[in-house]
Structure 1
């Protein structure tokens, strides 16, 4: 008995000597956690407090601590508190602890198996969205109670430890968003028979197949394997997973047919198979999935028809785009009450759309472009007033455009070009309040542009060419202050242009050719500072050509031909840096100005009988001046000889100083992409040290003045051997830019290939790059907020053009402030397309094949999307992330990896953390670039711009907006008026 009493009192003494829960928590806080925002400020033990005899419930009142009814700590929940440090393994010394979550913080470093072994009593452990690195720690056999393990969105690498297969209670395993290698689904996973959630997406796994034994995991509800480098076929055994609700294997290299037994997976709610290499037809058994709401098989090689059974399901989203489907769209699809997203574009569907489509559902996104559809559009597409976009271009639709769309107040994006629509275009559509993009070219519409167009102030692009619209252009068009592209060409418009059009300061393109406009052209055009293209050819304009056109800073395309312009050619036009110039077939007279008195321009001057030139034939020679004295001729001859000798001597000196030597045996291949008149001899001798304006990883950039007076930027790439890395960059840039035409993308003027070098010539941007302005040599010319916003919006439009309007779509892959160039008026041009890639291309058989998988990481540090480094697969969402970084640069004025942010932090984490900590940016001016004049800063608009940046830099690509959406958000979420004067 005495021995028993001795042991009893000894145990009581041991228990009494153990530290309390509060003491353990305080020790861990002080030793293993950094709390810069003081979010754990209430974790304190007051002076004089005796934890062993005082209030045992003290920790239960602390931030993030949850206790049971006995006041014992059972959960530590410290999610998203801005904490950092190493893995706080000391928490596991709390004897009653069951759950730890430190997700969405900045913890880092490796986690050893030894430190994790302290936590074997846990039921759940969540370390997601931190900066942990190194190999995944093994788990000892003592983890018998662990049912949820979340290590997602970190930097873990290496293979998944085999010990993960010895967790008998594990139901939830999340490892997505790391850099894990090895097999995506190791064999030992099959032992985890209790698993309900297996989420392994976005890792750098080796090519591996879905094992047939996957069917043994009968309790699985979520199987998420997006971008997991899966190959081979989807095994039939997958059909045994009757509890599976979400099956997502998108963006892999899966091939073969969709298993016909898939109808057995009766619990499926979401089926994501997009962006693979699947073939064959859609199984009829898909119609048995009565719970299916989301179905996406886009970007595969699927054929056949859309099965009636699938169309009859209560789907919310149906995405079949970019396949080879054909046949009619089943009428039963129109009975769906859930459908909000329908994307069938880039297929061969034919026949008419179901007449009641949209009547029963809240349709928001509708894209059936590039098919063989015909008949009339359904009149009820916007019945429930949620439709944001109608995209039906490249089909055979005909008849009247439905008048019912006049009431579609939600409509923002309309693309119906290349169809056979006819009749009067509904007037009410012109006044939809959210409409910003309207493209209806190549139809047979008629009618007028009504004055009610003033009620659509958001319109930026109005493209209605190749129709039979008529009448005068209403003065109310001048109310469209955001208008950037106006294309009314090939219609029957008449009358004079409204003089107020000169108030549309954002115009970049005006195309009025092939109409019947008359009268004088507006003269006060100085406000068109962004105008790059003006085409009014084949009209009836009269009067003099406005001399103010010569003052437009970025005008490069001017076509005034086939009108009745009279008077002299304004000498001011010679100041323009024109790639296209045509004033032929008018009534112009007098001597051709010296700047146009060259053979290159002769065809642009034809058809003006009263023009004269002493040099250009067949123009009439100008009257000879009165004869001068023999003495004066002699003096002028001597002066001319001296001048010529001096020029020849200077030219010889430049040739000797040139960094590229010319000789008779050297061969060049010069290709021009714009109408410029020069040869390699006009370029190469000027690539000297004094003309050097920049040097980068791919080569050196020079400023060269052509004989025409135009300045060009010439990039001479390092090296130049065929098939070298630099040669590949050269070819990529040429192939990308030779066809691109957009006001916010730099123009490629020419390329030149020599035996030992490669050169590219671009329009010269006098203000350098945005990076120079924000961080570099030109930072003295700092931009105020309205200019910065104009740069952001312009660059966004350029990227949106690449992603959504190019065929195939183009991914830039190196979006950064140094690759956004600024012209004389600080308007942006995206540049440096050496890393750009098309998302899809056609092989020799005319089949589309993916080119998104890259052999190496490309891009710039600080701008790379987190998934890019470990997937090596490119999507447009990688560009969106980089653009979000640029937005943050514009607001903060700081580099992406500025030392100011502290160790292991970049601009994304720093800005995101600060925005989460405050609502009022105006009182936290240290976020906004202090070099900006405070009076120009609209802090409400800046806050909204930062919100867009945070959306763009989301950790997950699927949650980032498209660049088209980014343009909408920037335009809609700001009251700042861009002004770059």
Structure 2
């Protein structure tokens, strides 16, 4: 009996110990298994989690596993798998992790996880820190199912995803929450007033969401957030005036409500925020003056009120902000001088005041008491001398003073400012020689001295300016020889030295990186060096109005990118009929040989004005100019030019009168290019500019021209340059400036009429919107909606965005582009043939929706007879080789090439194709030589969810092959292509290829 009692007692002790240490048995032992179960729902392509496979038995403790954090007594408290390139196999599942009772931190940010947010989050009741930012999650945020349960949550980050719908009001139930970050998450609707319930909130970050409620404003309930330190709602479509109640958030340190549609003046209540360090109100429509009470913001370090409509002077009180480091007031209508007190702002480092109406002189000692990094007062009315002290601390890297009326010499102190990266002084009245050391500053990338009265020479020490990419010296009085050391500037792309007094010969070895070389209107002599053909990237070459002699180097014919050549007004000679034998004249927008001493006889030139002024040159079957009295020819030519100009002027005047009368009678209808198009508004200015708007947009020609700054250039093509701009109404646009006479070229249409005729009346979600056009006799501007994700070509081939590796996004792009093209071919009236479909002409908005762009080559389908081959090499249909009578199936072929790019990730032309030449012939060759299954090997291995979508990708491969059939009649229509792609997308449960 005693033994039995002892045994029973032992069992009771064991039983008691088991339950008293239940946490150790039930909780610690299975944690490794729970983590491994979660591991099964993610794809770890780079094996970051390799050591998670090191054990699977009941004794395994995972505290040494990658990304696993444990408490001192060995229990898992956190999982941090951030930035590991993880994918979710289907949808992320969390029930296993939520069974870890002590899990307080879950960080999965900066991966490629996709699908909907897991509904099981509500089971993770111990969580304090939850970060799902920078992934590819989509769908609605299901906070109603888990937010009420996460009562311990302190930090929630859902930013940089692809959610849809509103920010759930149930998030207002997370009463302990201190940080809420939903930046750029795809949210819409309104900012929920329930956020005012988060009394512990310190950081509320909601920028770059499409809150689209009518009269969208911040809810006043946010005044209850008295612990709030950071409030960000930039780019949230906020309307109305800045709320007065913001001044009640006394602990606020960072306020960013930039890039919205706010109006009215800056409320004086904001000036009571003594703890405020950052005030960002830029890119709104704010008016009125800068409040004089601004000196109450004693903690302020960063003030940005730029890109508004502020007026008045910069208040003297602003200079009392001792902690201010960044002052951005650019692009307003401010007047008056710079407050003298800025001399005593010892922490001021970044000062941008450009594009205002400021005047006076720059305080002479500015920069001596502070470490200036940037100083930009361009496009104002400043005068006087440039202060010597702006780089006194040796840290200045950007000095922008262009378009003012500064006088005097450039102080020699800037020759020792080795930190300078950009120096732009153009459009002033500066004179004298440039300090010799300045030419050799090692970090300088842009040096713009044009449109001044500078003199002197370029020293050989310029070879030390190894980072120089832009050198603009034109319209000055520089002289001497061009130093051969210019050829050592391996990064130099643009060299503008025209309208100076340079002499001597052209250096034979110039930088091979050059794209633009303007040496016209100097006193250069000698021959054009044959080595100029080594400039393989050169697009523009102007050597006119010099004293060059000899012949045209035949090597120039090998310069494939050269589209503009002006060698007019020299003493060049030679038989042009022989010298131009190897030139492809269709390559050139301008090939101006006029006013030289060329000879020869040839026909077929479509631009005789390129050859005038050569007495011994015969063009066509007419009598040679050299056989006639040359002065008589000039008088005869002048008489006829005047006569034609006069007749054209009278006809134009009559047309303008009739058009104005007709517009007055029918304001809402304009006949442009033969088709009647309804416009929202039209304004015809008696100044040279004419603006026609096709969609609701408030813009003036002046505002557009102000945006044409080199810093805003985002692209360049054969037709012109493209600029990104933000209009004063807050709308971001892309402005295409077609090449004009201002570049020294003859004025050409460059697709302007085709773009306007095609896009003016087109309304389709997958066709880029032409918002308006603006034109003069010399300039054509086309204004489009801005596409923040750029072109498909850039995203596929330049690696700019990780999300383009997701197949579902690629498929979405393909469907959108197909629907846009199908609309042009089948539903648009008149039907349109695009003729230049390629990945670079498919633009993507912030949601990666495809928009077909660049209609410069577009034609009415009823007029398909072409005079020349149009399109881009690699995308051109084979029927162009034997006929110029093409139809919409040529566009289908080009679209098939785009599909092959999407599937294989390869460019249409690549050296790896060998003799195959194009992606189409290469793919067919691979299939012919290796069999049908080789398609699987040709798929882009960068596609992150390749295993899941292999079958669908191969189906798209098949569609691409059908689109690129050799015979046009064997290709499907775009309507059929669109339907096939849509059918593939409707398969909501795609299967891997091997199933």
1:80 aligns with: 83
Q: Which residue of 1 aligns with 2:180?
A: 173
Q: 1:478 aligns to what SS in structure 2?
A: helix
Q: Give distance in 2, aligned partners of 1:289 and 1:25.
A: 53
**Would the aligned equivalents of 1:556 and 1:576 in 2 still touch at CA under 8 Å?**
no
Is residue 133–residue 154 contact of structure 1 (8 Å, CA) maintained in 2? yes
Corresponding residue number in structure 2 for 1:565 = 572
Q: Structure 1 residues 84 and 537 mapped into 2: Cα distance closer, same or farther (>3 Å)? A: closer
> Which residue does the alignment assign to 2:68?
65
Shift of 1:198: 1.0
Q: Deviations over 1:46-87 (max 9, x none)?
A: 687658xxxxxx344443333334434333333333444414
Name 1:621's counterpart in structure 2.
627
Note if 1:556 corresponds to 2:566. Answer: no
Does the 8 A contact of 2:194 with 2:221 survive in 1?
no
Instruction: Indicate the residue corresponding to 2:338 in structure 1.
Output: 329
| Corresponding position of 1:128 | 133
**Contact preservation (8 Å) 1:170, 1:194:** yes
CA deviation after TM superposition for structure 1 residue 119, in Å: 1.8
Which stretches in structure 1 are left out of the alignment for 5+ residues?
Answer: 52-57, 624-666, 671-711, 715-731, 760-805, 823-833, 836-857, 871-884, 907-981
Task: Look up the match of 2:750.
Answer: 749
For residue 478 of structure 2, give the secondary structure of its aligned residue in structure 1: strand
Residue 107 of structure 1 is matched in structure 2 by 113
Q: Which residue of 1 aligns with 2:476?
A: 467
Distance 1:497 1:297 in 2: 48
- Say whether the 8 Å CA contact 1:741–1:747 is kept in structure 2: no
Determine if contact 2:381/2:404 at 8 Å carries over to the other structure: yes
Q: Deviations over 1:430-478 (max 9, x none)?
A: 1112223222111011111122222223333322111111222233333
Change in CA separation of 1:820 and 1:237 when aligned onto 2, cut-off 3 Å: closer
Alignment-derived partner of residue 238 in structure 2: 230
Question: Post-superposition shift, 1:312?
Answer: 3.4
2:127 corresponds to 1:118: no
Q: Matched residues in 2 for 1:535 and 1:210: separation? A: 56
Pairwise mapping of residues 375-524 of structure 1 onto structure 2 (< 5 A)?
A: 375-498=384-507, 500-501=508-509, 503-524=510-531
Which residue does 2:265 correspond to in 1?
A: 257
Pair 620,480 (structure 1): closer, same or farther in 2 beyond 3 Å: same
Aligned alpha-carbon RMSD (Å): 4.6
* Aligned-partner Cα distance in 2 for 1:237–1:813: 33
Flag the 1:550–1:512 CA change in 2: closer, same or farther, 3 A. Answer: same
- Offset at 1:579? 3.2
Say yes or no: does 1:146 pair with 2:153.
yes
Distance 1:75 1:476, change over 3 A: closer
Please say if residues 472 and 495 of structure 1, whose CA atoms lie closer than 8 Å, have aligned partners that are also in contact.
yes
1:537 maps to 2:544? yes
Measured against aligned partners, the alpha-carbon deviations of 1:7-30 in whole angstroms (never above 9, x if no partner) come to 996895597496333413423422
* Distance in structure 2 (CA, Å) of the matches to 1:189 and 1:45: 45
Q: Verify the 8 A CA contact 2:787 2:843 in the aligned structure 1.
A: no
Change (3 A) 1:77 1:734: closer
Deviations 1:298-346 (A, max 9, x none): 2111122222222332222221121111211112223333333222211
Find the partner of 2:222 among 214, 222, 225. 214
> What is aligned with 1:273?
281
Which of 176, 181, 189 is the aligned partner of 2:195?
Answer: 189
2:326 is equivalent to residue 291 of structure 1: no
CA displacement at 1:384 relative to structure 2: 2.6
SS of 1:280's equivalent in the other structure is: coil
Whether contact under 8 Å (2:788, 2:846) holds in the other structure is no
Q: 1:904 to 1:342 in 2, by over 3 A?
A: farther
Q: Which residue of 2 aligns with 1:737?
A: 738
Among 373, 376, 385, the residue aligned to 2:382:
373
- 1:421 deviates by 0.5
- Please list the CA deviations of residues 215-234 of structure 1 after superposition, one character each: whole Å capped at 9, or x if unmatched: 22111001111222211111
Q: How far 1:243 sits from its partner (Å)?
A: 0.8
Superposed CA deviations along residues 539-561 of structure 1, whole A, max 9, x for unmatched, are: 23334444444554344333333
Which residue does 2:941 correspond to in 1? 900
CA distances 1:670-696 after superposition (whole Å, capped 9, x unpaired)? 9xxxxxxxxxxxxxxxxxxxxxxxxxx
Name the CA distance, whole Å, in 2 between partners of 1:38 and 1:544.
Answer: 64
Three-state SS of the structure 1 residue aligned to 2:372 is: coil
Residue 611 (structure 1) shift = 4.6
Contact 1:120 1:140 in 2 (8 A): no
Deviation at 1:265, TM superposition (A): 0.8
- Alpha-carbon spacing, 1:283–1:536, altered in 2? closer, same or farther (3 Å): same
Q: Does 487-496 or 369-378 show the bigger shift? A: 487-496
Q: Is the 8 A contact 1:355 1:379 kept in 2?
A: yes
Runs (5+) with no aligned partner, structure 2:
1-7, 630-671, 676-716, 720-732, 761-780, 798-815, 818-837, 851-901, 913-918, 920-935, 948-995
* Superposition deviation, residue 104 in structure 1: 2.6
Aligned-partner SS, 2:382: strand
**How is 1:357-372 mapped onto 2 (pairs within 5 angstroms)?**
357-372=366-381
CA spacing shift, 1:547–1:194, aligned 2, 3 Å:
closer
Q: CA deviation at 1:260?
A: 0.8
Q: Deviations over 1:122-174 (max 9, x none)?
A: 33322223333332222464443322222222333322333222232222222
Matching residue of 2:98:
92
Going from structure 1 to structure 2, the CA distance change for 1:811 and 1:378 (only over 3 Å counts) comes to farther
Does structure 2 retain, via aligned residues, the 8 Å contact 1:552–1:576? no
Equivalent residues, number: 694
CA contact (8 A) 1:367 1:392 kept: yes
**CA distance, structure 2, for counterparts of residue 426 and residue 807 of structure 1:** 42
When structure 1 is superposed on structure 2, of 468-477 and 392-401 the one drifting more is 468-477
Q: Distance in 2 between matches of 1:562 and 1:103?
A: 63
Partner-residue secondary structure (3-state), 1:214 = helix
Residue 551 of structure 1 contacts residue 576 of structure 1 at CA under 8 Å; is this kept in 2?
Answer: no
Tell me the equivalent position of 1:350.
359
Q: Which residue of 1 aligns with 2:308?
A: 300
- Tell me the SS of whatever aligns to 1:228: coil
Report if the CA contact (8 A) 1:342-1:366 is conserved. Answer: yes
Change (3 A) 1:90 1:547: closer
Change beyond 3 A, Cα 1:497–1:236? same
Q: Give the secondary structure class of the aligned counterpart of 1:261.
A: helix
Instruction: Report the CA distance shift for 1:406/1:23 in structure 2 as closer, same or farther (over 3 A).
Output: same
> What is residue 816 of structure 1 aligned with on the other side?
791
Residues 603-618 of structure 1 correspond to what in structure 2 (within 5 A)? 604-606=611-613, 608-611=614-617, 615-616=621-622
Deviations 1:611-632 (A, max 9, x none): 5568446813399xxxxxxxxx
Take 2:84 and 2:164, find their aligned partners in 1: how far apart are those partners? 26
TM-score, normalised by the number of residues in structure 2: 0.62
C-alpha separation in 2, matches of 1:821 and 1:740: 35
1:758 to partner: Cα distance:
8.6
CA apart distance, 1:360: 2.9
Is the CA contact (8 Å cut-off) linking 2:278 and 2:301 kept in structure 1? yes
